[in-house]
Amino acid sequence: MDDAVNGGQSGRLNQFFWELADTFRFSGRVIRELFHRPHEWSEFGRQCYVTGIKSLGLISITAFIMGLVLTIQTRPVFAELGADSQLPGIVMVAIIREIGPVITALIFAGKVGSGIGAELGSMRVTDQIDAMEVSGTNPMKYLVSTRVLATTLMVPVLVIFADAIGMVGSFLAVTIQTGVTFKLYLAQTLDQLWYFDILPATIKTFFFGFAIGIISCYKGYYAKGGTQGVGAAANTAVVISSVVIFIIDLIAAQISEFFII
C-alpha cells in the first residue's frame, strides 16, 4: 500500500517536472518566433484589442471599487491617529505597489487567460491547428506569439489604468468625508510616492502578462480529450496563472526590498 502511494506521488512529481520543462521549451519557441519574420502585426493588433480594450470595463469597475473601499475602510484608523493627511498617500502606495498590479493580473488571468486556453484548446481538438500546419501557416507565430506579446504589453497598460481609476475612487471617498480638493489630495498622494514605489511595480507587470500568455497558450495549444479537454485547459490556465502571479510577486517583492535596503 505504501509502495503504491509512494509510486503515485513519484509519478505525479515526475509529471510536474516534465510539464515544467516542456513549458520552458514552449516559452523558448515563442520567444524565437517573436524575432522571426514575417511578423503578424494585424493579428497582434487584434489580440491587443481583444485582451486589452475589451477588459477595460471590468478592470475599471474593480479598480474604482478597490480604491473607494480601501479608503473608506482605512480612514477611521488614520482619523483616530490624527494622520488624515497621510491617508491618500498610503492608500495609493498600497494600490500602486501591490494591490493594483496583483488584482488586475488576477482578473486578467480569469477573463483573458481562460479565453485563450478555451480558444486554442477548441482549435486543437477540432484539428484546426493541424490544418494550419498543413496549409503552410505557422500556428506558433500566428496563434501563440501574437497572444503572448499582446498579454505581455496589455497587462502593464491595464495596471496603470487601474491605478488611475483607483485614485479616482480613493479621492471620491476622501472628498465625500472631508471635503478635500483634488489639488490637495494629489499633493498628499505625491508626497508619499517615490521612484521605488512605481518602477518595480511596473516592471513586474510585464512578467505577469508574459506568464499569463505563456501558460494559457500552452494549456490550450496542447489540449486533448474533446470538449472536456477544452474546459480543463481553460480552468488549469487560470489556476496555474494565478499561482504563478503570486510567485512572481513574491520574488519581485524580495528583489525590491533588497534594492531599497
pLDDT at 253: 85
The confidence score (pLDDT) of residue 7 equals 54
pTM here is 0.88
- Per residue in 74-114, pLDDT tens? 888 777 777 777 788 888 888 888 889 999 999 999 999 99
**Using an 8 Å Cβ cutoff, are 55 and 209 in contact?**
no
Residue with cell 508574459: 210
Nearest to 212, CA basis, from 150, 144, 151: 151
**How far is the C-alpha of 47 from the C-alpha of 152, rounded, in Å?**
11
What is the rounded distance in angstroms from the CA atom of residue 121 to the CA atom of residue 129? 10
Side chain identity at 34, as an amino acid letter?
A: L
Please list the rounded mean pLDDT of every run of 10 residues in the chain (261 residues).
54 76 86 81 90 91 92 81 77 88 94 91 86 81 90 94 92 84 83 79 93 92 83 90 93 76 50
Residue-level pLDDT at 258:
67
Distance of CA 129 to the CA centre of its chain: 26
Q: What is the pLDDT of residue 81?
A: 74
Domain ranges in the chain are 2-260
Report the pLDDT value the prediction gives residue 154, as an integer from 0 to 100: 94
